Amino acid sequence: MRPTPERIASCNCGKVQVRATGRPIVSAACYCADCQAGGRLLEEAGARKDFRDAWGGTEYLVYRDDRLRGLEGMVQAFRIREAAPTTRYITTCCRSALYLKYGAGWWTSLYRVRFGDTAPPLQMRNNIQHVQDRATLPSDVPTYSGFPPGLFGRLLCARLARLIGA
C-alpha cells in the first residue's frame, strides 16, 4: 500500500502551516469576477502580492475539509461583499493569502503558491471569459469559459468518497 501523500501549505514566514493529506480534488486557476475582486481586496488589505498571476487569476489546490489540519489560528477573514458565498483568508503574521472557503461547502481552496515546490502542476484554467487579454493566456493546460462539467464531476466524486469514508 502506498503512503498517503501529505503537503504543507505555509505562509511566507512559516508561522502558519496547513497540512493537506491525499491528492487534491483539482489544481486550477480561476479568473472569475469574484476571484479577481477578492484578489484585489486582499492586496488592498496588505496581502503579499504573490498569489495572483499576471491575468488576475488565482491558482488553487482544492481539498476536502476532512483532509486539512491547521486552518484555524492566525488568519483574518475577508468577503468581497456581505452576502458573498466565499470568504478569503490571509495570515495575520506576514499577510500571506492562504485560502478561500466556499460557504458551508465541504471543501477548501488553498492558494497554490503556499505549497511552494511541492504543488502539483495546474490541471485547468476556468472562467477565462473575465480575462481582459485572453490571447496572452498560456496554453499549457485546458481552459474553460466558465466552470467545466469535469470540475463538478471531481467535486461529486470527492463528496461521495468522503461519505463512504474513503
Where residue 73 falls among pLDDT bands split at 50, 70, 90? confident
Name the helix (H) or strand (E) containing 34: helix 33-44
Question: How many DSSP H helices and E strands does the chain contain?
Answer: 2, 10
Cα 15 to the center of its chain, rounded Å: 19
- Give the C-alpha separation, 127 to 162, whole Å: 27
Are the beta carbons of 76 and 86 closer than 8 angstroms? no
Give the residue with greater pLDDT, 73 vs 2: 73
For residue 159, what pLDDT is reported?
84
For residue 2, what pLDDT is reported?
59
- Give the C-alpha separation, 56 to 132, whole Å: 9
Q: Strands, DSSP E only, in 22-147? A: 26-30, 58-64, 68-69, 75-78, 86-91, 97-102, 107-111, 124-126
- State the Cα torsion 36-124-126-57 to the nearest 10°: 10
Residue identified by cell 482544492 is 62
- pLDDT at 166 > cutoff 80: no
Q: What is the mean pLDDT of residues 35-61?
A: 95
Q: Is 31 helix (H, G, I), strand (E, B) or coil?
A: coil
Where residue 120 falls among pLDDT bands split at 50, 70, 90? very high
**pTM for this entry:** 0.92
Domain boundaries, the chain: 6-163
Are the beta carbons of 158 and 107 closer than 8 angstroms? yes
Could you tell me which CATH number the domain at 6-163 has?
3.90.1590.10
